[in-house]
Amino acid sequence: MRTALTEAVRAARSGDVPVGAVVLDGAGTVIAAAHNERELTGDPTAHAEVLAIRRAAERLSGWRLTDCTLVVTLEPCTMCAGAITQSRVGRVVYGARDEKAGAVGSLWDVVRDRRLNHRPEVIEGVLADECAAALTTFFRDR
């Protein structure tokens, strides 16, 4: 999560909402890292999670991330939850809950929907206060 927090700082520097994500392989090695780049690139899909998943798939030369863990500073939205499900990420670890747009337990629970064929393990609240503080500071300063 500390690496994801470092990525979040990079997002804020470019004017993006400070969300960072990393993907770990089955051995716990970071194979991809990303941060929000919507403002930087003008791409509405450039969320940290989507970018990290894309980079991990490229690194592994395949789209199935079954043995991987996605670590992200903010609870994923519906778009990112869909990407998590479609890429078959095995575990999702997130910091701060997102009561307004969270799709991994707060507002919706897309990744654990029994109608879908893949449901990753979810661990929430890791360094939640630090993750939330980065977001609070960013929006207060704006």
Neighbouring-strand partners of residue 71: 22, 93
Q: How far apart are CA 100 and CA 66, in angstroms?
A: 28
Selected catalytic residue, list 7, 49, 75, 121? 49
Annotated catalytic residue 49: yes
Does the CA dihedral 25-55-53-88 come out positive or negative?
negative
Could you give the CA distance from residue 69 to residue 56 in angstroms, rounded to a whole number?
A: 10
Token pair 């890429």 is found at: 87
Burial (0-12, 13-18, 19+ Cβ within 10 Å), 80: buried
Catalytic residues: 49
